[in-house]
Amino acid sequence: MEKLRYLTRYNGQKGTPKSFQGWRLCITRRKETFVRYFTDLEHGSCECAMQAAMEMRDAMLAEMEQGKEFPELCRNYRKRAAQA
Q: What's the whole-model pTM score?
A: 0.85
Please report, in tens digits, the pLDDT of each residue of the chain (84 residues total): 478 999 999 988 776 777 889 999 999 998 999 999 999 999 999 999 999 999 999 999 999 999 999 999 999 988 877 776
24 Cβ partners below 8 Å, 6+ apart? 7, 8, 10, 35, 36, 37, 38, 53
